[in-house]
A and B are shown apart, each in its own frame.
Chain A
Amino acid sequence: MAYPYRHPSEVLVLAKYFGDPEARTLRGWEERGGYQALRKALGMAPADVVNEVKASGLRGRGGAGFPTGVKWSFMPPKGDKPHFLVCNADESEPGTFKDRELIRWTPHALLEGCLIGAYAIRAEHAYIYIRGEFFEAAQILAKAIEEAYAAGYAGQNILGSGVDIDITLHLGAGAYICGEETGLLNSLEGRRGEPRVKPPFPAIAGAFRLPTAVNNVESLIAAAHIVQNGAEWYRQWGTEKSTGTKLFCVSGHVKRPGNYELPLGFNFREFIYDVCGGTPGGRPVKAVIPGGSSVPILTGDELDIGMDYEAMAAAGTMLGCGSVIVMDDTTNLVKQVRRMVDFYAHESCGQCTPCREGTAWAARILRRIENGRGLEEDLQTLLEISDNMSGKTICVLSDAAAAPITSSIQKFRDDYLALMRREPALAARSA
């Protein structure tokens, strides 16, 4: 529940105050240098804030990895229309649990990031859309927002600068698809959280059809550090194209699960075996999902890569939101793929036929295989369904559902075949 583990390889920028309950209070945050970045930003021109973040190379931490400063630069020139900053705190990708920790230990860090982001894109209002299940984290953030208003960091004429920025906290109501930025915007507007066809992109027609930037929690907090310390300071960590530090959330079969903040490009094998301590009992690693359930699975032999956007792409997978799920050799992989596909079938919004029908159909076939009634031709059917789900829908939820199916059939075909032969040792595994 809290932060039990640290590791000497960590570089603590964002996670520095995890486990420090004083840091979440306004006074505690100010004593730790809080809101200095906001003061500095308000003394800069908004375009200079955007340029500093652009120069840092910071890439969005919500999964897609789009450069944050570039996204801000897409905002149109400020006219009469209001602009909005929307913080995506709808963290719900299976395997991901970094934003909740950032919010509950350092809520003022997020508010500072939101205020700086809103100032940079000249937004008068920042909405923080947090998933409804994160009620306890939302209460901490709500208290922090009240403190920020009372201290003059939010609202009218912030710190005497003449800048007005309101912050509103908005609870979601249980829908994974609202983590997709246009689904989130529809949900914020009181609609079903169905993703929109792009273009228009949110910078042109976002929340309430007005210019909007949607940024992940971790991106906004990192941006505040960049404004305070400079782009070059941030670039001291990471690789040329994947700069800075990133929170990696690790779960599944490891000795020390939790969040670790590391420079991008850190060796993946070292991460799993050293930082996370390897598997309980030292069993062999069978499979690893490196970036949340929506990315292709790696085998335990494919770990000699860097934990950065480019190296993961070269290995045929994605860094995603840095959510590492480790499975040892006791894992019934077909069951876990079925569980993930069940999830996508449940969370499909139903707008697009390939996703609505494909996810449910694939889940049924996978369940049949799991129960020992699979046929070898099922694998071909699953691959065809996956092909029909990829690149053919409004958003990438169905592409995400296809990733574990195709990568597991490619890399763990024997697991499927063993279940078809009803090998009891495998079928009996509980996880």
Chain B
Amino acid sequence: MSAAYGGADSPPSSWPQALQNPGFAGDTGEFPTLTEADVRGTAYVGERPRDGGHPGVAGTLAYQVAEKNPEAPLFEGPYAERVVKILERYPDSQAALLPVLHMAHEIRGHLSPGTMDEVAERLGLSPAYVRGVATFYSMYNLGPVGKYLIQVCTNISCNLCGGDAVLQAFLDATGTGMGETTPDGLYTVMEVECLGACGFPTAVQINERYFENVRPEDVPAILARLR
């Protein structure tokens, strides 16, 4: 664990020091050799190819990345190959809709009406149908968001341990309002429903990555680490 990581995965400061969930197992003494990379599995996963790799997993790349281009073509080069691989795993093209919307989101950063229409055409679905599906799911942004989309869990388990204060700390540190993007385009801060990391409060998702055991005082270090 690098020093620059600060306390981003450290426990709520309201808890007595000796009793805090130490976050990284490397801090506990019980698993002294575990590093952040071990926990995240980054060395094991390695670099995923843009064409999606094996067809069985081709639809599972990051939907929200820092580098995005709203003007980029959707179905060219490795992305065209990825769509073909996705389609071969389902009995019909409709079932490829979520993975292909994820891919469009990855390339362009959000789903504009025009983007949804292109996906509809590629999959042989009606534009209205695609919009009906895309608007059902909370991970598809329908408008532009910042380079870093910061989503703070405030549901019960995180809330009990100070999730509201962590959300406020992100809003204060970025100087932006809920769901708004900073003028420099760097940050959008949102509240999010349960991220499924309830034992490590507060859970925060930034783009595709989780930060756990986040305390309000960890926020500057996390933002510095992103840049």
Contact = CB atoms under 8 A, between A and B. Distances in A.
A140 B19 CA distance: 31
Interface in A1-27: 1-6, 19, 21, 24-25
Contacts of A193: 136-137
A329 interface: no
A142 B60 contact: yes
B199 A94 contact: no
A394 to B, nearest CB: 16
A325 interface: yes
A192 interface: yes
Interface stretch (A42-50, A115-123, A336-344): A336-344
B6 interface: no
A4 B25 CA distance: 5
B194 A93 contact: yes
Nearest to B94: A190
A208 B155 contact: no
Interface string A283-310: 0000001000100000000000000000
A30 interface: no
Interface residues of A, number: 84
B194 A92 contact: yes
A250 interface: yes
Contacts of B90: 168, 190
B41 A136 contact: yes
Contact of B160 (A19, A91, A146, A325): A325
B200 A175 contact: no
Given A1-B23, A143-B46, A6 B56 contact: no
A407 B34 CA distance: 42
Contact of B193 (A104, A146, A176, A256): A176
Interface string A210-222: 0000000000000
Contacts of B137: 132, 172-175, 193
B45 A139 contact: yes
Contacts of A172: 98, 137, 139
Interface stretch (A64-72, A95-103, A353-361): A95-103
Interface string A223-265: 0000000000000000000000000011111011111000000
A145 B56 CA distance: 8
Interface stretch (B75-83, B180-188, B206-214): B206-214
A387 interface: no
B198 A251 contact: yes
B198 A208 contact: no
Interface string B151-186: 000111101111011000000000000000000000
A148 B2 CA distance: 33
A189 B89 CA distance: 12
Interface in A129-156: 131-136, 138-143, 145-146, 149, 154
A19 B200 contact: no
Given A140-B44, A142-B53, A346-B193, A191 B94 contact: yes
A326 to B, nearest CB: 8
A310 to B, nearest CB: 25
Given A142-B53, A175-B138, A343 B193 contact: yes
B91 interface: yes
Contact of A142 (B45, B164, B205, B212): B45
Contact of A347 (B38, B56, B193): B193
Nearest to A103: B41
A431 B163 CA distance: 9
B41 A259 contact: no
B133 A190 contact: yes
A171 interface: yes
Q: How large is the interface on B (under 10, 10 to 19, 20 to 34, 35 or more residues)?
A: 35 or more
Given A171-B99, A190-B94, A3 B25 contact: yes
A189 B95 CA distance: 4
B162 A430 contact: yes
Given A139-B48, A142-B48, A190-B94, A277 B19 contact: yes
Contacts of A343: 155-156, 193-194
Contact of A253 (B55, B160, B195): B160
B148 interface: no
Nearest to B138: A174
Contacts of B102: 132, 171, 173
A325 B160 CA distance: 9
A250 B140 CA distance: 30
Interface in B96-121: 96-99, 101-102
Contacts of B15: 255, 280
B13 to A, nearest CB: 11
Contacts of A327: 160
A189 B94 contact: yes
A329 to B, nearest CB: 12
A133 B196 contact: yes
B22 interface: yes
A187 interface: yes
B156 A95 contact: yes
B28 interface: yes
Interface of A: 1-6, 19, 21, 24-25, 91-97, 99-100, 104, 131-136, 138-143, 145-146, 149, 154, 166-176, 187-193, 208, 249-253, 255-259, 277, 280-281, 289, 293, 323, 325, 327, 331, 335-336, 339-340, 343, 346-347, 349, 430-431
23 contacts: A1-B39, A2-B38, A19-B25, A19-B31, A21-B39, A24-B41, A95-B156, A100-B197, A132-B102, A134-B196, A136-B41, A136-B210, A138-B60, A139-B48, A169-B60, A174-B138, A174-B139, A190-B96, A192-B132, A192-B136, A256-B19, A257-B21, A280-B15
Given A139-B60, A146-B57, A257-B200, 15 more contacts: A1-B25, A2-B26, A2-B39, A146-B53, A149-B56, A174-B137, A174-B138, A191-B133, A192-B133, A193-B136, A252-B161, A255-B15, A256-B21, A281-B16, A343-B155
